[in-house]
Structure 1
Amino acid sequence: MAAGSTVTAGAECRVDPSTRLATWPAALPHVTVVIPAWNMGRYIARSIASALAQTWPALDVLVVDDGSTDDTRAIAEEIAARDPRVSVHSFPNGGVARARNRGTELARGTWVAFLDADDLWHPAKIEKQLTALQVHPPEEGWVGCYTLFRMVDEHDQVIASGYGAGKRGSFFYDHLLVNHVGNGSSLLVLREAALEVGGFDPSYAEAGIGGSEDFDFQLRLLMRYKLEYVPEYLVGYRLHAAQMSADQTRMALGHIAVVERFVHAAQLDGRQAQFALVAANRNAVAAFARSGDWTNVRRAARKLWGDDRSAALMFAADRLSFAARRGLARLGHRWGSHARLSTRSWPFAECDPLPGILPDGRQARPGSPLYPAPLDSPQGPLAEDEVEEADEDEA
């Protein structure tokens, strides 16, 4: 497939170094933003607004109402009545995978960008992604681009930054070990490529382990194609009780199922398969523990021990170290020697998307919640359960 057929021939862009934005010619690649929505009346207006505020002009927004029983559809239709770029399509509830697939099929853009109905985008997200993709020869198979993300609360306040580094190109196996894309609101992809790999798989939700459909979709793309990334925090990933990813047990079981599927699909050799399964079960143990699911903790720990005893021992030592650090951090906070990130208001819209820059323009301390360690470093990404223990001297 001609991956770059969407970009107008000879369409060169100029990037302004002061703004890091591009100037494009009149004929632009068209992007459809697909927003799957189920009972997100509290947040969907903000999500649609962040899509409409994009600096990329050739863009429309397609809301897929997945059988909502609240005011989600009414809010989206009210916005659509005021802005012709927005359309709303309603279906019986079928889950987020089917909703995304329906949006992809209905999309009129050559590029599709997925935005969950409770998440936010920085205004320059789409423009910076297409600018990054413009430099790659289309025949080499570059079909998508993702960005870094920040976690936000129910009031759009930044809780912490996500991973501090990413991979580009063909990184299927690296992605199988660690999810570099991070969430479903990050990826911009060629519609043709999304359809070619089969879209999002609804079978996980049908099996009661939904939540890893994004990971599965990304791996299927990476088995055939390449992904670019923009090393800036351009997505606001919302944390709240109603979101699917709040169910740690279901997410962990889904993640293990995805890894097992692709270990088989990619016909990995014994050592590669073992590493992938060890990584999946190691992460699952931590997720099960966070949700208090001790039955699955024991099951995953036994599997981890059976697959690789040295990895199991290293994981146990890492968890003990983390528990000790968290305990010390809590004591420090109680004694007033550690400032908390939550004591400051950090609106997502006011944060500079560049890593290491605080909303007030100062440099963030490496390793802190707003400037986490790189994804491929020995200590790994800043986990959500580690946010509360962070020692912040910039808050």
Structure 2
Amino acid sequence: MEKRLPAVSVVTPVFNGASFVASTIESVLQQTFDDFEYILVDDGSSDDSFDVIKSFAEKDSRILVVRQPNMGMAEARNCGVKMARGMFIVLQDHDDIALPCRLEVQFKKMQTDEQIGIVAGSVERFDATGKRLGICAALEEHDDIIRAAVMGEPCIGPGTMMIRKSVFDSVGFFRNQYVPSDDLDFIFRASHVCKIVSVKDVVTKYLVHNENATHRSALRMLRVSYVMRYRMLKELAGEYCCVSALNDPASENAMFEVARGYERQFWSSYVHEVLSSGRIDPILKRHEVELGLKALRGKGIDSRRRVMSRILRCLPDSLSERLGLIWKALEA
């Protein structure tokens, strides 16, 4: 008899995570939702990671283990996604802890609307001693999430996402040339074919340590995220943008400077357009005017750009009212 397909496939890429991965695996196996398979991809670890995950696989038939040469986080995720048999793919990083109801709350949210292709969630940060460092609350609505991505503000983390497998069929997989911002690239591509939303619930606990990808690749993440936003802005303006130059370090630096200059130019033009036409782009709506007023005291061109765009997001429909409020803010 053919084995029934699981509803959910959890994918965890592992690279030198022997110190963390056991806790991660245990958190997944203790889920209140149990219709899942668990795929762990060892990405050429040089520590005992493979032995740790193999020992769990020997005890639980839901666990599938694959080992590959070191190819990077994006390719390790892709390997697991391609193996997945579930209709929904959950990405769980090897050093994060899944809350017991993670799969259940995200699966239920996914069932509420067939147009939803990605469901993310909030994250609780903690350090190696177990001390809580605060909660990163997820933006819940599609427009807010894309607006944040375009603005370069915190968006959604790949380790919190449940993704409908059909989204991968439509837009492809994670692209290695955009690491460590390959998730931002994927989110923007996915936004063209599905809704991206979040649940309020904390779905993972994120361990802050020196081996986090964010810490290891902070400068490159900054550069790549700038280029990603450059591409988003160009495409929102109806222009195709090729960013293949990210494969070459010298070209990457040049592309970064182009992207940074274009972003400043875009926001200057955008502010002028909105003020002259009375139009408010819906992708930049739904934020608090007060944030802009408060931040107006900041210095520098980037601060001013952010302030003006924030103020413009949800001002009154009347052009005169908006101009009056902006003038009042500038005088403050």
TM-score by length of 2: 0.69
Query: 2:316: which partner in 1?
Result: none
Query: 2:137: which partner in 1?
Result: 163
Q: How does 1:83-98 map to 2 (within 5 A)?
A: 83-98=60-75
Query: 1:116: which partner in 2?
Result: 93
Q: How does 1:13-162 map to 2 (within 5 A)?
A: 30-136=7-113, 138=114, 141-162=115-136
Deviation of 1:59 (Å):
1.0
Q: Distance in 2 between matches of 1:223 and 1:298?
A: 27
Do the aligned partners of 2:119 and 2:197 also contact (CA within 8 Å) in 1?
yes
Q: How does 1:1-395 map to 2 (within 5 A)?
A: 30-136=7-113, 138=114, 141-163=115-137, 165-168=139-142, 172-178=146-152, 181-204=155-178, 210-246=179-215, 247-264=217-234, 266-268=235-237, 317-318=297-298
Q: Which whole-Å deviations, capped at 9, do the CAs of 1:124-176 have from their partners, x for residues lacking one?
A: 0110011122222x2xx222211111112124432111136432479544532
Query: 2:251: which partner in 1?
Result: none
The verdict on how the C-alpha distance between 1:203 and 1:305 changes in structure 2, with shifts beyond 3 A counting, is: closer
Match of 2:160, SS? coil
Q: Distance in 1 between matches of 2:98 and 2:35?
A: 16
Q: Distance in 2 between matches of 1:114 and 1:236?
A: 13
Q: Distance in 1 between matches of 2:144 and 2:171?
A: 16
Q: Distance in 1 between matches of 2:231 and 2:222?
A: 14
Do the aligned partners of 1:133 and 1:228 also contact (CA within 8 Å) in 2?
no
Query: 1:389: which partner in 2?
Result: none
Q: Which has the higher helix share?
A: 2
Q: Distance in 1 between matches of 2:142 and 2:299?
A: 30
Do the aligned partners of 2:12 and 2:92 also contact (CA within 8 Å) in 1?
yes
Q: Distance in 2 between matches of 1:44 and 1:225?
A: 32
Identity of aligned residues (%): 23
More displaced stretch, 60-69 vs 152-161 = 152-161
Q: In the alignment, residue 182 of structure 2 is paired with which amino acid?
A: E
Q: Distance in 2 between matches of 1:29 and 1:86?
A: 12
Deviation of 1:182 (Å):
2.7
Do the aligned partners of 1:142 and 1:169 also contact (CA within 8 Å) in 2?
no
Do the aligned partners of 2:6 and 2:85 also contact (CA within 8 Å) in 1?
no
Deviation of 1:68 (Å):
0.5
Do the aligned partners of 2:152 and 2:225 also contact (CA within 8 Å) in 1?
no
Q: Which whole-Å deviations, capped at 9, do the CAs of 1:39-76 have from their partners, x for residues lacking one?
A: 11110111111111111110111001111101111100
Match of 1:149, SS? strand
Q: Distance in 2 between matches of 1:197 and 1:103?
A: 17
Q: Distance in 1 between matches of 2:181 and 2:32?
A: 30
Coordinate RMSD, CA, aligned: 3.3
Do the aligned partners of 2:121 and 2:200 also contact (CA within 8 Å) in 1?
yes
Q: Which whole-Å deviations, capped at 9, do the CAs of 1:88-130 have from their partners, x for residues lacking one?
A: 1000111111111110000111110001101111100110011
Do the aligned partners of 1:150 and 1:160 also contact (CA within 8 Å) in 2?
yes
The verdict on how the C-alpha distance between 1:263 and 1:197 changes in structure 2, with shifts beyond 3 A counting, is: same
Deviation of 1:377 (Å):
8.8
Query: 1:334: which partner in 2?
Result: none
How many residue pairs get aligned? The number is: 262
Q: Which whole-Å deviations, capped at 9, do the CAs of 1:7-66 have from their partners, x for residues lacking one?
A: xxxxxxxxxxxxxxxxxxxx9961111001111111011111111111111011100111
The verdict on how the C-alpha distance between 1:319 and 1:166 changes in structure 2, with shifts beyond 3 A counting, is: farther
Q: In the alignment, residue 73 of structure 1 is paired with which amino acid?
A: F
TM-score by length of 1: 0.59
